[in-house]
Structure 1
Amino acid sequence: MKSGRQLLTAGVTALAPAIWGSTYLATTEWLPPDRPLLAATVRALPAGLILLAFTRTLPTWIWLWRTLVLGTLNIGAFLFLLFVAAYRLPGGVAAMIMSVQPMFVLILAALFLGDRIRFTHVVACVLGAGGVALLVFKGIVALDFVGVAAALGGAACMATGITLTKRWGRPDGVGLLPFTGWQLVAGGLVLLPFALSIEGLPATITGTNLIGFAYLILLGAVISYAIWFRGIERLPALAVSFLVLGSPIVATLLGYLFLHETLSIPQLVGILVIIVAALLAQPRPVKTRGPGPHDPPGSDNPAPPEPKPVMDMEGKRP
């Protein structure tokens, strides 16, 4: 039963990366062109303010700096580095490099959470990276150093954010929605000066742009990040990190369906490999024996049998 609940939790948590994968289509089709940082800022900051206005809960003094750290790692710095990598590297290469993120989580979870590194976890990391390579690889290309560094930095930010979110948890008495709102506001404030100084505001905003911004705020942030942080609470850090690899799968499928992009046999194999890797990374059910004669009714964990009395040579108790 417990393994079934964990698998269901993993499936629900995977909805968040799936929504993030759809934001590529929303950004290219509905938002002003060439302003990804503005899109990320509008996605995070208003969503966080909406949640704070709805919940009316602010962080205490110790959670002020923790929120800034988590919001920067999970949202602000991660999205900024992601867009730098996407601009400076050819199509798909950034996603390939950032697929090392589960490997970072594997190491960080062992160091800071005490999680054991298992052979299946290592295999899952290799399969996940290989699956993403099959999914997005477009041929041999020249690599830009800044782009590669940004992609690796983005993967490290997300891995560290997942690990620290798991380690710190939520403060007592604070619900999931305000906790999500804190991080969205912090991440949006980190992004805001970069968006204004690098890209600026568009000259005009159309009705289609407003639909795109509403999609990013409500689905791309409020709902998806609440689902995501709920999953981090309930699943092992490594299991959550692999679910992020679902984002390029959804982006590829939507590009094929709506943008007339190609979908080859290697890409389909890559999708299958990523799914297998994510399943390998999920926690395994613990096998228990049925109740024994010395266990109380309803017990699934048998107690050790009572020790036999010591007998002397004639079979009598001493």
Structure 2
Amino acid sequence: MTEKTHSQPMLLVLAPGLFVLLWSTGFIGAKLGLPFAEPLTFLLIRFACVIGLLGLLALVLRRPWPHRPIQWFHIAVAGTLLHGGYLSGVFLAIHTGMPAGVVALVVGIQPLLTAFLSASMVGERVSGRQWAGLALGFCGVTLVVWEKLGFAGLSGAGLAFSVMALLSITLGTLYQKRFCAELDLWSGSVIQFVAAGLVLLPFALAFETMGVEWSGQFVFALGWLIVVLSLGAISLLHLLIRRGAATRVSALFYLTPPTTALMAFLIFGEKLGLTAVAGMAIAAAGVAIAVRQPSPPAPLPQAGEGRKPSGS
């Protein structure tokens, strides 16, 4: 066997856990950077840097670009949903004062919504075992965020932005699974970030001052979100969507709030009570049930097998 055949399966084995770990740091990066820039301005700077880096890599590595206009269109739509709609929804909800725990709980419905829509959009059947795992995972996420679930900052705008993020990440995952099967990770991501940036730019110009305080903390948060999230986690998400069923991929998002809570405990010293710890275990169990591949059926015996030899 070649090295490639060894490394490719290993990457697929490690990808889900690595994705959860990297994706969870996005909330930490947002918390560090948002005090120094308005949400859409922050995202546009991030997108511009990512477009430059990925575009250069795509040219140097001579990655293939879509040949037909319809392919560009589908990739752009998926990118607008996954990057523009989801990220702006989360950032704007938190910016309006929406408690992060409530935002996490709303977005936490995503695996259930994906499972509900997957049959009609991508033709995937969700088994009873998967539904049970998804329900258990949502219960675990609820316990994780329960201790920090404050409702003082609830507003119609914050709730609307949270729902926008939920719908965007759900529809974006399913849309990419159905229409972007041949997406190249490098060139395709450039198209997606350009499309998302073009959608967000008019809103930033209209509703934000676009001022930035270039502190060391902001530069660190921006660099982290560019390299770790936009280059690392997003590439892994594309790989997972391409290789796995949409329901199993979306179930991984249940592990994001527990991982983020653990990181906040280690980095910021935030409280982590027994209820949250129990929720982490329940969420992990739910994800394990939802993503477990069903056992293949036993092969039928060949003609003549299983017969006892006749006596002489």
Q: What range is the shorter-chain TM-score in? A: 0.7 to 0.9
Which residue pairs with 1:84 in the alignment? 92
Aligned to 2:167: 156
Answer whether contact 1:51 1:181 (CA < 8 A) is retained. yes
State the AA in 2 paired with 1:85: A
CA distance 1:203–1:55, shift in 2 (3 Å): closer
Instruction: Identify, as 1 or 2, the structure richer in helix.
Output: 2
The one-letter code matched in structure 2 to 1:100 is I
Residues 10 and 235 of structure 1 are in contact (CA less than 8 Å); yes or no, is this contact kept in structure 2? no
**CA displacement 1:208-232 (0-9 Å, x = unmatched):** 4333222211111012111110011
- Aligned residue among 211, 233, 252 for 1:224: 233
Amino acid at match of 2:80: T
Alignment CA distance shift 1:203-1:30 (3 Å) = closer
Q: For 2:15, which of 9, 12, 15 is the aligned residue?
A: 12
In 2, the alpha carbon distance for the partners of 1:124 and 1:6 equals 25
CA contact (8 A) 1:105 1:159 kept: yes
Identity of matched residues, %: 26
Select the residue among 53, 58, 71 that pairs with 1:63.
71
The number of aligned residues is: 290
State the SS of the aligned residue for 2:36.
coil
Matches within 5 A, 1:234-313: 234-289=243-298, 301-302=299-300, 305=303
Identify the residue that residue 49 of structure 1 maps to in structure 2: 52
Query: 1:75-224 counterparts in 2 under 5 A?
Result: 75-86=83-94, 87-137=96-146, 138-139=148-149, 141=151, 143-171=154-182, 175-224=184-233
Deviation of 1:32 (Å): 5.0
Instruction: Tell me how far apart the structure 1 counterparts of residues 234 and 245 of structure 2 sit (CA, whole Å).
Output: 17
Query: How far off is 1:304 after superposition?
Result: 5.2
Contact 1:48 1:222 survives alignment (8 Å): no
Unaligned runs of 5+ in 1: 290-300, 307-318
The one-letter amino acid paired with 1:166 is: K
Residues 95 and 193 of structure 1, relative CA distance in 2, 3 Å threshold? same
Q: Given that residues 27 and 39 in structure 1 are in contact (C-alpha distance below 8 angstroms), is that contact kept between their aligned partners in structure 2?
A: no
Superposed displacement of residue 123, structure 1: 1.6
1:33 matches 2:44:
no
Q: Which moved more, 1:230-239 or 1:206-215?
A: 206-215
C-alpha displacement of 1:158: 0.9
How much does 1:252 deviate?
1.0
Task: Please report the TM-score for the alignment, with normalisation by the length of structure 2.
Answer: 0.82
Q: Structure 1 251/210 Cα, relative in aligned 2: closer, same or farther at 3 Å?
A: same
Amino acid at match of 2:47: A
Secondary structure of the residue that 2:100 maps to in structure 1? Answer: coil
What do you get for the CA RMSD once the two structures are aligned? 2.7
Partner of 1:245, secondary structure, is: helix
For residues 199 and 231 of structure 1, do their structure 2 counterparts lie closer, same or farther at Cα, with a shift above 3 Å needed? same
Partners in 1 of 2:88 and 2:210 — Cα distance?
Answer: 17
d(CA) in 2 for partners of 1:280, 1:303: 30
AA partner of residue 211 (structure 1): F
* Aligned-residue offset at 1:187: 1.7
Matching residue's letter, 2:19: A
Q: How many angstroms does 1:302 deviate by? A: 4.2
TM-score normalised by the chain length of structure 1: 0.81
- Cα 1:246–1:37 change in 2 (3 A) is farther
Q: Is residue 124–residue 277 contact of structure 1 (8 Å, CA) maintained in 2?
A: yes
Contact 1:88 1:146 in 2 (8 A): no
Q: Point out where structure 2 has 5 or more consecutive residues left out of the alignment.
A: 1-7, 305-312
8 Å CA contact 2:36, 2:213 repeated in 1: no
- Contact kept, 8 Å, 1:70 with 1:161, in 2: the verdict is yes
